[in-house]
Amino acid sequence: MRAVLLISIASFVVIYWLESIFPYFTSRHDRVRHGVSNIALGGLNGVVSGFLFPIMILNGIEWAQTNSFGLLHFISGPPFIKAILAFVFFDLWMYLWHRANHRVKFLWRFHRTHHTDCEMDTTTAIRFHPGEIALSFLARFAVIPLLGISYLYLVIYEACLQPIILFHHSNVAFPERWDRIFRACIVTPNMHRVHHSQEGPEFNSNYSSVFSFWDRIFATFKRREDTHKIIFGLKILQDTKWQGLKGMLITPFK
């Protein structure tokens, strides 16, 4: 996963730099202070989860591979076909997990830390509560063996997922005509901005992580023309005390 980490860091630096040159919302006056809090939370998650959970995942993968357990072991074909199927299946799981985080009240308590950000940018992509990270890893520990995904396939997926997540959370002024073309396949900034809207019907839409077509298949896709007018965050928990590291950590218990 070291390669994934390097790709993520490089992507973050490039996108954060692009935000300063081509901002979509030009009224952001304290990007550094805003970003520091989100990065601090992301760093905390990395430290807390980086030692224990990857070992669990690797053990689950090794057990599944040794025992030929999981869906992909029942599918015949060349490795590249299995790699594509692994990517698609796992991205479907990510869609379903994200949707569950909005629908299940216990999961939403942790996930809403991500949605309390009133100034969405690429640092929002790493603004997740440690509780959500832990629950996500525990769910993956069950799902990965069931799918029979190998370590290589998981690395390929993560190497694609991280830059796309950083991109579609970004404040980069991506031209709408390009956004429209790209979101036919992958999640784009204008598509994901709708998901971070304060309006309930909007933040309960556009759950996809990589492939955007899951939202169309499951009728959760929403499009908005005037994305410049979107108000980010939640109607509750808007006070500045919820935007700092301490506030984000205690948000699930509010």
CB distance 179 to 191 below 8 Å: yes
| Residues of the domain holding 70 | 2-19+30-253
Reduced to 3 states (helix: H, G, I; strand: E, B; else coil), residue 186 is: strand
Token pair of 194, please?
A: 């709708």
Reduced to 3 states (helix: H, G, I; strand: E, B; else coil), residue 172 is: strand
| Res 78: pLDDT | 87
Q: Is 173 part of any domain?
A: yes
Q: pTM here?
A: 0.94
Q: HSE of 54 in the Cβ direction (CA atoms, 13 Å)?
A: 14
CB distance 45 to 126 below 8 Å: yes
| Res 76: pLDDT | 84
**Would you give per-residue pLDDT tens digits along the chain (254 residues)?**
678 889 999 999 999 999 999 999 998 878 898 999 999 999 999 887 777 677 888 888 888 888 889 999 888 888 889 999 999 999 999 999 999 999 999 999 999 999 999 999 999 999 999 999 999 999 998 899 999 999 999 999 999 999 999 999 999 999 999 999 999 999 999 999 999 999 989 999 999 999 999 999 999 999 998 999 999 999 888 888 889 999 999 999 98
* 1: amino acid identity, one letter: M
216 to 115, 168, 206, 222: CA distances (angstroms): 22, 17, 9, 9
| Res 190: pLDDT | 96
**What is the spatial distance between Cα 230 and Cα 119, in angstroms, rounded to a whole number?**
11
Q: Is 25 part of any domain?
A: no
Q: Is 229 part of any domain?
A: yes
Token pair of 47, please?
A: 């430290």
Q: Is 118 part of any domain?
A: yes
Q: Is 243 part of any domain?
A: yes
Q: Is 24 part of any domain?
A: no
Task: State the total domains in the chain.
Answer: 1
